[in-house]
Each structure stands twice: as C-alpha cells, then as structure tokens.
Chains A and B, each alone.
Chain A
C-alpha cells in the first residue's frame, strides 16, 4: 500500500518574531539604563530653584550618605580626584567639560568644598544636581 506524501506547509511565525524583537529592544533599553553605576548610590539631592535639564553627562562625582566619594560610580579618594577628572576631560571643548556633582543634601562643606575645588582645578564646569524646589 502506498501513502501519498503530504507536503508540509510551514509558515514562519511572524507575529511571535515581532514579540521577540520588542522584548529584545526592551532588554537593551533597560540594560543601557542600568549601565550608569551612579544610579545605585545612596544619596538624596538638595532642593533648590533654577535647575536645568542635564543632557548626557559624561562625568559624575557623587557623595553618598556616608561621605564616600565616587567618580562615575567608582569609589575614589579626594587626593586623586583632580588628576582623574583632568584625565577624563582630556582636551574636550568647553561645551563638553561639564562635571555633574551629585552631593547628598546633608554633606558638610568640609567634604564638598574640596571636591568643587578639585573639579575646578581639573578644568571642569561644575553642575550641581538638584531637585527642583516647588514654590509653596
């Protein structure tokens, strides 16, 4: 007895592929967002007026709740700060020399003033990250 060979009709699952593509986009978006190590540091910004949106900051200096200083998410000593910021800034034009300072609101001047001085000496433009104060 002979059986007729059935022809297999395989259609690629285009809709499922679109799902996978979307999920991949989401995966890379979330990955890119968590790349910035300074997001995981424990600090609360000071409230003040006059804030402007910061676009793509290249260098960030963070002071956390425990007065630890971080350069781009990596803990660093104050003595090395000027040298390392200067190295990161290199020969960048003045418009790209912004250094964002994420200083915990309770940090004392004894800690944050030397940081500002170090950034200033390295040729960086200080940008304080603040929380916009709403008028009461």
Chain B
C-alpha cells in the first residue's frame, strides 16, 4: 500500500500523497469487483425427475412403455436404431397420442460402457420430447451352486 506521510507538506507533495491514496482505493475497488464477478458465475444444472429405479417396476413397464437403449455411441428406441440427433423427434412422435403421465414413462437402459456425455444428451432429448425417465438397471447375476 502506498500511504504517504501523515500530515501535510508543500502543495505538490500533498497532491501526490492524495493521488497515491486514491490509486490504492481504485485498485482495491477493481479487485473487489473482479472477485465479485467471479463468484457470481453460477453453475448450470439440469434437474431430472427420476422415479426410484426399481428392477421389478422397470420390468413391468418394459412391456407397455417406450424403451430407449443407450449404447457407447448409438441409441435404440424400441429396438430400432435411431441417430442421436433424431431421438427427440422420434420420441415426440411416439409420445404424441399419450396423455396419462404413466404412459409417458420412458425406460432407459444404458450399456455399461455408455459415456456420461452421450447419456446426458439422450436423456435431455427424452425430456424435451415430453418423456419421463426411469432407469432400468442391469440385474446382478447370482451364481447358485
């Protein structure tokens, strides 16, 4: 900090001292606003309504609801390959006539090697098309001897 001598002096020296203090204040204000601006940046998030994933329920729904299988790079809607960019349109067509919330449930089954970046885009498309996501988790296989 560039605080000058307290007191006074000749006219020129006093002006220089006041300028020093003002520069200090200006710098502090600048830093203050820079810090404020960086903390004001909020993270972006997407809430996802997700009914508790239950294996039995998902198995029941499998027969009646739309099923989306997410692979490593591909997507299958009711077993049919659909380019990821067209998932939203395809689902919007399939969900068009459905009015009851339970009919709008889309069962999502993901391959173990499906990356999150692919998954989040596909599930986003499902939600934008009006579907409600339910995860179908792979059942653990028990080995009985």
Contacts and interface: CB of A to CB of B under 8 A. Distances in A.
A107 B116 contact: yes
Contacts of A104: 116
Interface in B42-60: 42-53
Contact of A48 (B49, B121, B137): B121
B112 A127 contact: no
Contact of A16 (B3, B42, B49, B110): B3
Contacts of B111: 109
Interface residues on B, range: 35 or more
B120 to A, nearest CB: 5
Contacts of A114: 137
Contacts of B137: 113-114, 117
A108 B124 contact: no
Interface residues of A, number: 50
A113 B135 CA distance: 8
A106 B46 contact: no
Contacts of B52: 117, 120-121
Contacts of B144: none
Interface of B: 1, 3, 6, 21, 24-25, 28-29, 31-32, 35-36, 38-39, 42-53, 70, 110-117, 119-121, 124, 127-128, 135, 137
- Pick the 4 closest A-B CB pairs, nearest first: A51-B44, A109-B110, A53-B42, A22-B28
Given A15-B3, A110-B113, A130-B45, 8 more contacts: A29-B32, A30-B35, A46-B120, A108-B115, A109-B112, A113-B135, A127-B46, A128-B45
